[in-house]
Amino acid sequence: MDPRTIGILGGGQLGRMLLEAANNRNINVAILDKKASPAKQINGTNPGVDGSFADAQAIRKLASQCDVLTVEIEHVDTHVLEELENESLSQGKNLEIQPSWQAIRTIQDKYLQKMLLLEGGIDVAQSMAVPTASEKELRVVESNLKYPFMLKARTGAYDGRGNYAVKSEKDVQPALDALKNRPLYAEVWVNFTMELAVMVIKTKDEADTSSWASSTISYPTVETVHEDSICKLVYAPARGISNETNQRAQQLARKAIASFKGKGIFGVEMFLLEDNSILVNEIAPRPHNSGHYTIESCRLSQYDTHLSAILDRPIPAKATELLTSAIMLNILGGEDPKSFLRLANAADTAGAKVHLYGKGDATKGRKMGHLTVLGNTMEEAEQDIEPLIRLADEIRG
């Protein structure tokens, strides 16, 4: 279908599902990650590179085998990506890096990401940098943002590991201990009524918020439910929001993504407030947990359209329509390293679509897989998933 080889930095579950989509279209993929990582387990055709996506030499080795480099995680070495792009340009090679290293670099620092969104006129929660992690500095934060506020690691954060809710004076020291040695910023506490998310496909290279209508395509607005800062459930479409809110969230997400350089799929997490206004929480420059439902309930999944975007293949507007209601439940590890399998088994028996990531034994709270329940109506999907949610709660303890 396309003779080019795609290199993926990272071989976790997102890389694995991206590879599944590539395999369906006979697209050759090389993966950079540890041996037997989730994606490598199912890549029989290309050994890829064993190593770390944060290691410059390993990234260079992967690049030497590929025509297009992409990522399934934002915590990669963007300096080597910048060098590779410059070398490709000066030496007349055709290595493409999508999305752009600039987008990845800005997004991987959540504070810089916020500043860029603000420049583009996108509303985000009020925040401030925390130059040194000290009690004195957090007193300055408190005088500006007031308790409670969210202390966040600027880099390396995922699944809430990097967030600490500072509700009162007594949380200050534990927060500093929990996030020590990490660059920090603080965010005002957002009393959202619902968390929303939209997957956006960027189809043009340039960063230009004003051209969002021609440079982006969106999937519908979904509702995400987090527990302890980690995504638990995704409802597609978001329940109980008006069509106007659904469209407005998609438009905001598209504008937000238009401000970044490069092509491919992006995830946009948002907060819906009581007055119906919407803030962007954060952006992911890659497939996203809130977009897994697209595998079963849209014509083309977030993985299919990511491949199309980075290979410059057309993406019809219909591709992202929601064809059926869906609820996605993450399969998270409990205390017992194997208890998550009880949920996978129950879901499978109940006719839910089960995705296990091949991570072996679980640790508590680790994403081991997910399941998707489809319904002719949302009520039907809600009814069918109810016992599975109860079991997930029991396993997590």
The residues that touch ligand ATP, with contacts defined as CB under 6 A, are: 125, 150, 152, 157-160, 162-163, 187, 189-190, 195, 226, 229, 269, 281-282
Which segment (143-151, 276-284, 288-296, 377-385) binds Mg ion by CB under 5 A? Answer: 276-284
383-387 long-range contacts (CB < 8 A, ≥24 apart) are 384/350, 384/351, 384/352, 385/327, 385/329, 385/352, 387/346, 387/350
Residue 60 or residue 182: which is nearer to Mg ion going by CB? 182
Residue 48 or residue 285: which is nearer to Mg ion going by CB? 285
Residue 16 or residue 80: which is nearer to ligand ATP going by CB? 16
CB of 27 to Mg ion, least distance (A): 28
In whole angstroms, what is the distance from residue 29 CA to residue 8 CA? Answer: 7
Task: Residue 392: name its binding partner from Mg ion, ligand ATP, none (Cβ under 5 to 8 Å by kind).
Answer: none
Task: Residue 72: name its binding partner from Mg ion, ligand ATP, none (Cβ under 5 to 8 Å by kind).
Answer: none
Task: Residue 163: name its binding partner from ligand ATP, Mg ion, none (Cβ under 5 to 8 Å by kind).
Answer: ligand ATP
Please name the amino acid found at residue 327. I
Ranges of beta strands (E only) in the chain are 6-9, 29-33, 49-50, 68-71, 96-97, 127-130, 149-153, 163-166, 184-188, 194-202, 216-218, 222-227, 230-236, 264-272, 278-284, 325-332, 353-356, 367-375
Task: Residue 120: name its binding partner from ligand ATP, Mg ion, none (Cβ under 5 to 8 Å by kind).
Answer: none
CB of 256 to ligand ATP, least distance (A): 14
In whole angstroms, what is the distance from residue 10 CA to residue 167 CA? Answer: 36
Task: Residue 287: name its binding partner from Mg ion, ligand ATP, none (Cβ under 5 to 8 Å by kind).
Answer: none
CB of 113 to ligand ATP, least distance (A): 10
Name 201's bridge partners. 217, 265
In degrees and rounded to multiples of 5, residue 337 shows phi and psi of -60, -15
Which segment (93-101, 127-135, 215-223, 277-285) binds Mg ion by CB under 5 A? Answer: 277-285
Q: Are 67 and 4 within 8 A, CB to CB?
A: yes
Binding site for Mg ion (CB under 5 A): 269, 282
